[in-house]
């Protein structure tokens, strides 16, 4: 289909049904306009093409499993109704040209020149890394033009970069690999790009959650082949919304804080001659607690105990969702947040003790939940500064947002929902 035909297609009943599943029924009209404007932007930039396709890749939310993946633990995550959307077409050349409407970027990459820049940073390096990852994994790449927009909030722990990466993986899979790739392959290529072309020691959580879609649980015991299970649960039926609150950007350099978490957990594993905590049992740690405190330090011990208990909570939350025990699920969300605050200790940085945006936001949210006797909250993502998550009944959301934004600033709270699709070719689903 060309651009004009695809614009008309977006007004069809099947398109409306799909957009309703992706974004919610109330957002269909807005999304039709968004897609049509994107198509018009593609044609204005690249001219007429006989065959264009639409793609979408969501951001993600970490529901439970805080700082477990890097020690090969378990997580529960979900794709959200904020996404990166692209219009793309093959250009029968060795050039990949990408125009990002959101970030005002326009760049071209030659497929014969995929070496990273010395700085190992920026969108161009990331895309080169993805293309190189396809080649090194035995998949095919080719030239294409893409016009992209995104409403996935940056620096909010919802993985705007992974959303973009998985969108490009979907484009390359659809155009040049007959759609034969699975989402695990997507995730490994995204990880390769971030590790080798961005110098970012990321795992597979963000990419997997964006690529697979819906609610998923992942066991990273074998990281080269993680066990991924999709949880069949209708979040909307519970009349709850997921709210992400940006509590303010930290001014301290948090690199040391982030790296200390996996490193201290691994220090406990080293006591047993192992590399990661997933290779050790909680019983073993408790049996040798005195020696481990001496060997690794007290915070390392607390973080290790968080790891073991958080894995159990993920299992309990998955069981609660499968058995439709939503109240128990929320109770474990609260327990996860308490463990992150007290045992993992990633809610503020000790480098700047008077700056505690996350803990203030959590305290205010806990007061709100205590008054209403409904809901749950926890730190979201890496922590130390940035973002919290609240899960609240829909009838309380507006009041909560009004309350929390008095402390965090207007426009800092985002209401989200779990969407059932991951990184997909929209054109093939209509």
Residue 34 CB contacts under 8 Å (≥ 6 apart), including other chains: 85, 149
Domain shared by 47 and 174, yes or no:
yes
Which of 221-235, 251-265, 287-301 reaches the highest mean pLDDT?
Answer: 287-301
Kind plus residue range of the DSSP H or E element containing 228: strand 227-231
The string of DSSP codes covering 83-145 is EEEEEEEE-SSSEEEEEETTTTEEEEEETT--PPPTT--SHHHHHHHHHHHHHHTT-----EE
Domain shared by 256 and 224, yes or no:
no
Give the whole-angstrom CA distance, residue 385 versus residue 356.
Answer: 7
Give the whole-angstrom CA distance, residue 392 versus residue 398.
Answer: 10
Residue 225 CB contacts under 8 Å (≥ 6 apart), including other chains: 184
Domain shared by 298 and 250, yes or no:
yes
Per-residue pLDDT tens over the stretch 68-117: 999 999 999 999 999 999 999 999 999 999 999 999 999 999 999 999 99
Domain shared by 273 and 339, yes or no:
yes
Res. 162: pLDDT tops 90: yes
Res. 200: pLDDT tops 90: no
Domain shared by 292 and 221, yes or no:
no
Using 50, 70 and 90 to split pLDDT, how confident is the model at 402? very high
Per DSSP, the three-state class of 281 is coil
Give the whole-angstrom CA distance, residue 354 versus residue 335.
Answer: 25
Domain shared by 184 and 252, yes or no:
no
The torsion region of residue 354 among left (phi > 0), alpha (psi -120 to 50) and beta comes to alpha
Number of structural domains (the chain) is 2
Give the whole-angstrom CA distance, residue 303 versus residue 187.
Answer: 27
CATH number, domain at 308? Answer: 3.30.70.890
Give the whole-angstrom CA distance, residue 86 versus residue 58.
Answer: 12
CATH number, domain at 211? Answer: 3.30.230.10
Res. 204: pLDDT tops 90: no
Per the structure, the complete domain to which residue 288 belongs is given by: 236-416
Using 50, 70 and 90 to split pLDDT, how confident is the model at 225? confident
Residue 20 CB contacts under 8 Å (≥ 6 apart), including other chains: 27, 28
Domain shared by 163 and 241, yes or no:
no
Strand blocks (E) in 22-92: 53-64, 74-90
Domain shared by 275 and 410, yes or no:
yes
Domain shared by 55 and 157, yes or no:
yes
Pick the residue with more confidence: 5 or 225? Answer: 5
Answer whether 39's CB lies under 8 Å from 7's CB: yes
Q: Round the average pLDDT of the chain to a whole number and report it.
A: 94
Res. 249: pLDDT tops 80: no
Give the whole-angstrom CA distance, residue 19 versus residue 25.
Answer: 8
Q: Residue 279 has what pLDDT? A: 98
Q: Residue 155 has what pLDDT? A: 65
Domain shared by 147 and 252, yes or no:
no
Res. 252: pLDDT tops 90: no
27-41, 106-120, 246-260, 339-353: least confidently modelled range? 246-260
Give the whole-angstrom CA distance, residue 421 versus residue 214.
Answer: 6
Pick the residue with more confidence: 52 or 236? Answer: 52
Using 50, 70 and 90 to split pLDDT, how confident is the model at 156? low
Domain shared by 225 and 252, yes or no:
no
Domain shared by 191 and 282, yes or no:
no
């Amino acid at each position: 289909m060309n651009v004009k035909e695809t614009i008309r297609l977006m007004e069809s009943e099947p398109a409306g049904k799909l957009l309703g599943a992706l974004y919610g029924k109330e957002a269909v009209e807005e999304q039709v306009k968004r897609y049509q404007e994107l198509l018009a932007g593609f044609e204005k930039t690249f001219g007429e093409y006989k065959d264009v396709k639409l793609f979408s890749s969501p951001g993600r939310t970490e529901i439970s499993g805080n700082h477990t993946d890097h020690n090969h633990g378990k997580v529960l995550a979900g794709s959200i109704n904020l996404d990166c959307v692209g219009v793309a077409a093959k250009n029968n050349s060795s050039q990949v040209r990408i125009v990002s409407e959101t970030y005002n970027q326009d760049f071209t990459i030659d497929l014969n020149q995929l070496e990273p820049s010395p700085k190992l940073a920026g969108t161009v390096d990331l895309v080169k890394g993805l293309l190189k990852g396809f080649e090194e994994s035995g998949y095919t790449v080719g030239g294409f033009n893409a016009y992209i927009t995104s409403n996935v909030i940056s620096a909010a722990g919802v993985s705007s970069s992974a959303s973009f990466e998985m969108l490009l993986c979907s484009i390359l899979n659809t155009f040049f690999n007959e759609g034969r790739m699975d989402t695990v392959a997507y995730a490994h290529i995204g990880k390769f790009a971030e590790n080798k072309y961005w110098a970012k020691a990321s795992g597979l959580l963000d990419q997997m959650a964006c690529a697979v879609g819906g609610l998923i649980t992942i066991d990273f015991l074998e990281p080269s082949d993680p066990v991924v299970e999709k949880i069949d649960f209708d979040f909307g039926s519970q009349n709850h919304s997921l709210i992400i609150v940006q509590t303010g950007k930290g001014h301290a350099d948090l690199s040391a804080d982030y790296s200390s978490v996996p490193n201290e957990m691994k220090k406990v594993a080293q006591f047993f001659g192992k590399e990661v905590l997933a290779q050790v049992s909680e019983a073993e740690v408790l049996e040798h607690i005195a020696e481990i405190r001496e060997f690794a330090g007290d915070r390392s011990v607390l973080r290790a105990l968080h790891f073991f208990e958080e894995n159990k909570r993920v299992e309990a939350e998955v069981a609660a969702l499968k058995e439709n025990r939503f109240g128990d699920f929320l109770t474990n969300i609260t327990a996860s947040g308490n463990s992150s605050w007290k045992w993992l200790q990633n809610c503020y940085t000790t480098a700047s003790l008077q700056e505690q945006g996350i803990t203030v936001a959590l305290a205010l949210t806990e007061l709100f939940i205590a008054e209403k006797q409904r809901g749950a909250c926890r730190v979201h993502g890496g922590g130390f500064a940035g973002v919290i998550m609240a899960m609240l009944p829909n009838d309380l959301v507006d009041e909560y947002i009004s309350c929390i934004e008095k402390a965090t600033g207007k426009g800092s709270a985002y209401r989200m929902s779990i969407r059932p699709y991951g990184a997909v070719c929209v054109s093939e689903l209509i």
